[in-house]
Structure 1
Amino acid sequence: MTATATPTVTPSVPRRHAAPVAPRSPSWPRAAGILILAGGVMLTVATGLEVGTDVATDPAPAAAFWVLFVGSVLAQVAAMFPLALGRGDGHGAVGSSLVGKLALLGFGAFLLANHSLYLVVTYLLPTATPSVGAMAFVLGVSAVQGMLLVLGGVVIARAGVLRGAARWAILVLSLVGFALGAVVSDPSNGVLTDVMYFVSTGAQIVAGILIARATLSAAK
């Protein structure tokens, strides 16, 4: 009588299915928003020092003003790179628009030039009398800066990459900048000018928060 081997049955274990992993949200809106926010906060404090203290002659407020003012400018310029180019792949808030990319990066360049001229004319050469040509150049730089930001804001709004209020943040910020320019051009009302400076920096802070918290219409 031969023994019959009994087959061993191995119980099948149901294979676990890995939980779907949600795609990572691109980090460039957060980077751009934080830089814009930081620039706005530093500029607000610098403006407060400029309005409330003598930053031209008092060493301590002057040092704080220069650090904050220059830091705010550098933060705003740096913010244009992730806003225009995303993670460096060219897919930022303006989508594939070359015009939008050039507008935002050009705004950063003119912003740096304009604020540098402001420091030179106001604090480094306060007794110099600028020529008509020099004043026209300064006004031209300011005008081009503002128009580039308007153009960038329009392209961002049309591209629709940023959703919600963040989609309109840069355009609104640019319009506030033009309102500030209109007020500053009339030096007869110093109180209104000071108020508009803080409205402008406040608008920048709000824009930074909105962009940092923005969701995207498509992963970029």
Structure 2
Amino acid sequence: MSTLEAKAGMNDTTGRSTPRPAWSLWSGIGIATGGALLLIATLLEIPLLDDPNSGVLGLFAVTFLASTIIHAAAMVPLTGGATGDAGAVGRSLLGRFALLGFGGLFLTSQIVYFVVVYAMPAVDDYSGVLSLTTGLGLAQLVLLLVGSLVIVRAGVATGSARWALLALTVVAIVTGVVGNATDSTEVATSAHLVSTVTQIVVGIVFIAYTPRHHR
């Protein structure tokens, strides 16, 4: 092989993409699917705010609970579980704990919300439940923030995939602040819709992610 041919071969490998890692594919599918279902559930919940016994309650229950389970499950491949690789957090035990913990708390808080609001008889005092859900919400946001920062620091994901979960975390924090600060149902619903669309976008970013190696 001539010197020019050898150089051409070297240049041909520069920036060549490698197969998509399992963690990005499966976590992306989970986050995008969960976001799409939660978007539908958020729209279905609008009439339920006026009439909890509306005919859409059954469909809302299916889409809301399915999105919750799928979102929580998406944290498993994101940390490398069941995929055979290290996941987006690399070898960080803190990152794995944070994201898996977030998934568990997210699942718990969403189920508590659904049961209290739609499955249990109405009560006069929701202060205890409100304190519980607020505490769960704050804890899961902290864990999500820690996990997303670990992903950025680990550098396993590159490009937009490296920052995607952190962007979603920021949107989730803003959504939580707006939801707790406003008395307007329209504003709170709009904030949640923006959050669900962001989830879909982040999922697509992970699905489309292909790492590139540079010499």
TM-score range, shorter chain: 0.7 to 0.9
1:194 CA displacement: 1.4
In the alignment, which residue of structure 2 is the partner of 1:137? 132
Structure 1 residue 163: deviation in Å? 1.4
Q: Which residue of 1 aligns with 2:25?
A: 30
Aligned to 1:164: 159
Instruction: Tell me the number of residue pairs that the alignment of Structure 1 and Structure 2 aligns.
Output: 197
Which residue pairs with 1:125 in the alignment? 120
Match of 2:204 in 1: 209
Q: Which has the larger radius of gyration?
A: 1
Residue among 30, 51, 56 paired with 2:52: 56
Larger CA deviation: 93-102 vs 172-181: 172-181
How far is 1:44 from its partner? 0.3
- What residue number does 1:67 align with? 62
Q: What are structure 1's unaligned runs of at least 5 residues? A: 1-21
Structure 2 unaligned spans of 5+: 1-16
For the pair 1:110 / 2:99, whether they are aligned, the reply is: no
Question: Given that residues 173 and 204 in structure 1 are in contact (C-alpha distance below 8 angstroms), is that contact kept between their aligned partners in structure 2?
Answer: yes
Relative contact order: is structure 1 or structure 2 higher (C-alpha 8 Å, sep ≥ 6)? Answer: 2
The amino acid across from 2:186 in the alignment is V
Question: Whole-Å Cα distance in 2 between the matches of residues 152 and 90 of structure 1?
Answer: 17
Give the number of the structure whose residues are more often helix, by fraction: 2
2:148 equivalent to 1:153? yes
Q: Kindly provide the amino acid, as one letter, of the partner of residue 179 in structure 1.
A: V
Counterpart secondary structure, 1:209: helix
Matched, 1:189 2:184: yes
- Of all paired residues, the percent bearing the same amino acid is 37
CA gap 1:25/1:210 in 2 versus in 1, 3 angstroms? closer
C-alpha deviation, 1:52, in angstroms: 4.2
Please tell me whether residue 178 in structure 1 is matched to residue 162 in structure 2. Answer: no
Q: TM-score, normalised by structure 1?
A: 0.82
